[in-house]
Amino acid sequence: MPIEHVAIIGGGVAGLTAALSFARHGIASDIFEEATELREVGAGLQISPNASRILAELDVLPALEAVWTEPERIALVSGTSLKQLAYVPVGRFARERWGAPYGVLHRATLQKVLLAAVEANALCTLHLGSPVRLDGSPSPRIVNGKTYPLAVGADGVWSNFRSQVQGSPTADFSGNVAWRFTVPKDRAPAWLPLDQVTAFLGPSTHLVAYPLNDMESVNIVAISSGISAGQIWDAEASEAQRRMLATQFRRWDRRVSELLQNTERPTFWPLCQVSNGRWQNGKDAVLIGDAAHAMMPFAAQGAAMAIEDAFLLAEKVVRRPSLPTALAEFESERTARAARVRARGKFNRFAYHARGPIRIGRDIVLSLKPPQSLAADLDWLYGYRIGE
C-alpha cells in the first residue's frame, strides 16, 4: 500500500526540502518544528550544482536565482601574500559543464524561499512551536498522538529524534570554530573581489569570503581552533575570544588581520560533527541532513547534502516495493556518498591549513594545475544526479 502521509521532525533546510520532495509525488507531510518561528541564523551559504539541480526540480530555483550571486570562479589565495594560487571556474562554466548553476546567498534567503513553497503547497503542513512527543511508544511513527507510516528525523546535529534509531550516530565538537561576520559591500576592501568565492589559505587556519547580493554585503567565515560554546549555533564573541582570533591570524597578511580586528559583533559557531552509525531502523524511521551526517564545512556541502538526502528519500519511498527496502537502499547510497564528501573535506582541511614545507609544496602544485583540471576533479561532486 503506497504511503500517503509522513511526519517530518525539523523545519530547517532538510525538513522543508523533504516536504517538497514528498509533495512532488503526491505524499502529504506534517512538519513539526519546536521553534515558534523559523529563523535561520548564520550568514552565507554556497549552493553547488548538485543541489541547485534538485531545487530546480522542486520549482524553487527561479526564486533563488532572482536574488543570489553566481560567482565567476572559486579562487584559492595565499593568506600570507594574497596571491592567487589557482581557481575553479563556475558562473556560466558551471551551467555548461555540470548542467546547473553555482550560487551563493544568505541562509535566511534559502529558508524563506523553501518556507514560501511549503506554505503554498496544500500537501505540506508546518506546525511551529511543536516539539515532538513520542508518547512513550516503541514506534517512532506515532508522533504527537498521530500515527504515520514513516517518520523523518531532520532535526539537526543535536537531533533528539536520533534516539529512535538504534546504533545511530553521536555528535561531538570538532575542536574548530567558524567565526562569521559580514561587511557591507560599499565598505569591502579592494582585496576582497566581489565576483568570486575566495578561499584564503593559511597555517592552521583559513578564511572564505564571497558576495551576498541579497544582503548587499560580503560574507566572511574564518575557521580556526576554538572552544565549544555548547549546543548552540551562534554566540557573540567576547573581547578575550576576539583577541584569540587575532592571535590565530597573526601570521597572515596585515590587511586580513586588520579586517578581523575591526569587525563589528562577530559570532562564532562551534563546528560539530557526527560519527558513523545507522540512519534508519529498518521499518518506519530515518535520519537525513545533519542529524545523519553533520560534517566539517571544508567541502562547503552541508546544505547540499541535506537537499540530496531529502530528494532521494522521497524517490526511494515512492519507487521501491516496500518501505524497509526503500530505507535500506537510501541508507546504503547516502552513507557512501556522505563518506566520499567527508573524505574530500578532510583532504581540503589538510591542504588549506598546511604549514612549512607542505604549504610550499601545496602552492607549487596548485599553481601548476589549470582551471579545467581542477574543475574535472569536482565532476563526481557537482555533476552528481539522483538515480545515476
Residue matched to cell numbers 574530500: 344
364: phi then psi, degrees, rounded to nearest 5: -65, -45
pLDDT digits (tens, 9 = 90+) for 13-25: 999 999 999 999 9
Average pLDDT, the chain: 90
Q: Would you state the cell numbers that stand for residue 292, as one nine-digit string? A: 545523519
Q: Domain extents for the chain?
A: 5-171+274-382
Task: Output helix, strand, coil percentages for the chain, rounded to the nearest 5.
Answer: 40, 25, 35
Helix (H, G, I), strand (E, B) or coil at 90: coil
pLDDT tens digits for range 107-142: 899 999 999 999 999 999 999 998 887 655 556 667
Q: Does 388 score more than 90 pLDDT?
A: no
pLDDT surpasses 70 at 233: no
* pTM assigned to the model: 0.94
Does residue 277 register a pLDDT over 70? yes
**pLDDT score of 1:** 46
What CATH architecture applies to the domain 5-171+274-382? 3-Layer(bba) Sandwich (3.50)
Q: Please determine, for residue 327, whether its predicted confidence score (pLDDT) is greater than 50.
A: yes
**Helix 254-261, helix 239-248: angle, nearest 10:** 170
